[in-house]
Amino acid sequence: MTMRSMKKLLIVESPTKARTIGKYLGSDFEVVATVGHLRDLPKNKMGVDLAKDFEIDYVIDGEKKKVVDLMKKAAQKAEKIFIATDPDREGEAIAWHVYWILTNPEIPRTKSQDTNKSQVKNSKFKTKSGNQEISRISFHEITKEAVEEALKNQREVDMDLVNAQQGRRVLDRVVGYSLSPVLWKKVRRGLSAGRVQSVAVRLIAEREKEIEKFVREKYFKVSADLLGGENSFLAELVRVDGKNVFSPTKIHLFDGDYSYTKSIFRSRDEVEKLVGGLDKQYEVKSVDGREITRTPLPPYTTSKLQQAGARRFGWSGKQTMTLAQRLYEKGLITYHRTDSVYLADKAVESFRSYIKKTYGEEYLVAKPRVYKNTAKIAQEAHEAIRPTKVEITDPEGIDSKELKLYELIWKRAVGTQGAAAKMKNTTIIFTNPSGSNAVGIGEFKSIGVRMLFDGFLKISGEKHEDQILPEVKVGDKLTGKKVAIEEVETNPPPRYTDASLVASLEKQGIGRPSTYAPIISTIQLRQYVEKDEGKFRPTSLGKAANEFLVKNFEDILSLPFTAEMEADLDKVALGKLDWKVMMAKFWKPFEKKVKAVEETADRIKVETEKLGQKCPECEKARLNGDESRQGELVVRVGRYGKFVSCDQFPDCKYTSPYKEMAGFKCPLCGQEAVARRSKAGRKFFGCSDYPKCKWAGWKKP
């Protein structure tokens, strides 16, 4: 084969990405996919030599033998090789490993230790291997223009990014392999700990304690139904004799402050006495009408996209990121792992042109709207998540869920260049003259809003309903139709949802865009937390593991420490810190702490839920004369979720499936409904008479 007939080879991670790029490059290129990582830490041992400056024993995944062989064969026939893995730390690390495999002709065929270990000092990447030249290219969107531009801008692998990935991987491996054996000894066999995952469990466990500690208080709200012209509207009591009815209260939580509202009315008698003295006539005390503007939110970052997916569609972070990955690989959106709100000038101009042409010039903001990054380490070179082509509003070849997410991304990004929405807010204060039995003079407030110009809301598709108040002036009198008293209760801090947990992780600087979804999936998979109607709560296993780790490794599980480690990894990515120096500083005191805890710490008992029923096996034994058998049934958490067993285990090995009663009847057959878990750990409801009755649903009917 002559040099002229040799093809160029481009290497990516995903087969879908390979197919999309292949359509752009034509017959001169062969595009192959690594299908993720090819070379990583071993699965059955730590793989890090703590005594030899944290040398890493990388292994090639035995399941990737065919992929490696295919890639090496393609490389031998290629004139030039381009490694185009994703533009983040993980992608940079994969590129480095691909380079190592291609430049080491004799590679292990099984999951054995290789000889390269963690030699990362050689930052030169453009090298000749025979007649081949290997280059690294990267792009943030999979379009013909972006790929062609990337091919013109070849570079070396960014070893600072590689080292940041190695530092995180080694740090997490060392923490996990050090803490997990201690948990086996002190809590329960089979448990595992993770540096960031354990902090996420702590957030959920601490919130549960805060909910249990919260004292609910009843209070009362009063509203009047007033007649203005032909229509009636509501006004809420806000002051009595000049004193505010509602007062904000703030409490300090593990994750920050929580505010809730209390009322001066603590008993129904107080309220009824006031209401009984109210007059039928309400007088207008003040009218305040002002025009306000509302501007669009920034385009989506990874965190905000996951939060939107959870709030709008009930998706987990993992599900949102999987859908976003598909859209990215199909060339429809820019790279979806980012913490930047920056938009490229070219994209902004295309959005502005589209808005002017489609909606009219009045819907276009006068000057390009620019957003400032608030994330501590947002990389300006990375863009926010946006559509690659604004003209594509209804992409072909995608399913309904992908379309929902695409539309969400499209509207948010394009809407950034829309004109501000204009509204008129009107606040009317009414006074009610004191009657003979009145406790005091009441002031009622009603707020109305009317859209003057919808602006960017027309692009984003957000719904708005006007709240129209009657045209009144100071001194006017309106008739009250009726007064309602509502008894309410102060609410404790809410349990975390997918959206609020991601928001908390981001706020505290824990994890990075690519880690939020795996963190939440892992703590569910390990049975440390469970989701009940979309809200997380710790399991008995999670509570016990968290109690032990907080008691003995409080500094490791503290929010400031975890955020500091993330900041150090960011310094590594910027070339300002050696990852081995970072590890050495962490490892020495941590090693001493682990040994001390292993020797002196007390065991933590996993609390079990008692069912209040006798164990049938023990009862059977007692009937046969064994009076020592007094077992009761309890709920335990195992590898596959909850199950029922005898509290005398291991002396009594009775077990049975756990049925969590749902609290309602099956809508099809009338039998009791039960709560179950899908393979992914998601809770759903079904009939207890399954398989005779096959009714099932995600929500209670």
Q: CB-based contacts of 1: which residues, under 8 Å, 6+ apart? A: 77
Q: Tell me the per-residue pLDDT of 580-622, one tens digit each, with 9 for 90 and over.
A: 999 999 999 999 999 999 999 999 988 888 888 899 989 888 8
**Please, which residues have CB within 8 angstroms of residue 643's CB and are 6 or more apart in sequence?**
635, 636, 655, 656, 657, 658
The arithmetic mean of pLDDT across residues 145-152, rounded, is 95
pTM: 0.86
The pLDDT confidence band at residue 242, using thresholds 50, 70 and 90, is: confident
- Angle among Cα 60, 62, 64 to the nearest 5 degrees reads 80
Q: Please check the confidence at residue 126 and state whether its pLDDT lies above 70.
A: no
Q: Tell me: pLDDT of 53 over 80.
A: yes
pLDDT interval class at 536 (50, 70, 90): very high
Start-end of H helices in 35-193 = 65-76, 89-102, 144-152, 159-186
Spatial strand order in the sheet of 683-687:
660-665, 672-677, 683-687, 696-697
pLDDT of residue 133: 87
Tokens, residue 237: 């009591």
Q: Find the helix packing angle between 400-415 and 317-329, rounded to 10°.
A: 80
Q: What is the pLDDT of residues 183-222, one digit of tens each?
A: 999 998 888 899 999 999 999 999 999 999 999 999 999 9
Please give the domain boundaries of the chain with CATH numbers for all domains: 3-157 (3.40.50.140), 169-214+509-600 (1.10.460.10), 218-294+423-489 (2.70.20.10), 302-415 (1.10.290.10), 609-697 (no CATH)
Residue 125 pLDDT greater than 50, yes or no? no
Query: Residues 134, 127: contact at Cβ < 8 Å?
Result: yes
Average pLDDT over residues 331-340: 94
Cite the beta strand spans of 510-603 per DSSP E: 529-532, 535-538
% of the chain exceeding 90 in pLDDT: 68
Q: Percent of the chain scored above 70 by pLDDT? A: 92
| H helices, E strands: number in the chain | 18, 28
Could you write out the DSSP letters of every residue in 423-475?
EEEEEEEEEE-B-TT-SS-EEEEEEEEEEEE-TTHHHHT-----B------TT
When the pLDDT of each residue in the chain is averaged and rounded to a whole number, the result is: 89
Please give the distance of CA 229 from its chain centroid, rounded to a whole number.
49
Query: Would you say 633 and 611 are in contact if contact means Cβ atoms under 8 Å apart?
Result: yes
What's the Rg (C-alpha) of the chain? 31
* pLDDT for 4 beyond 90: no
The gap between the terminal CA atoms of the chain, to the nearest Å, is 68
Residue 464 is predicted with a pLDDT of 87
The confidence score (pLDDT) of residue 121 equals: 38
- Residue 115 exposed, middle or buried by CB count within 10 Å (0-12, 13-18, 19+): exposed
Active site residues: 335
Whether the per-residue pLDDT at 512 is higher than 60: the answer is yes
The pLDDT tens digits for 390-427 are 999 999 999 999 999 999 999 999 999 999 999 999 99
Q: What is the pLDDT of residue 648?
A: 85
Question: What is the distance between the alpha carbons of residues 408 and 332, in angstroms, rounded to a whole number?
Answer: 13
Confidence class for position 439, pLDDT limits 50, 70, 90: low
- Per-residue confidence band for 699, with pLDDT thresholds at 50, 70 and 90: confident
42, exposed or middle or buried, with CB in 10 Å at 0-12, 13-18, 19+? middle
| Per-range mean pLDDT, top range of 91-105, 396-410, 647-661 | 396-410
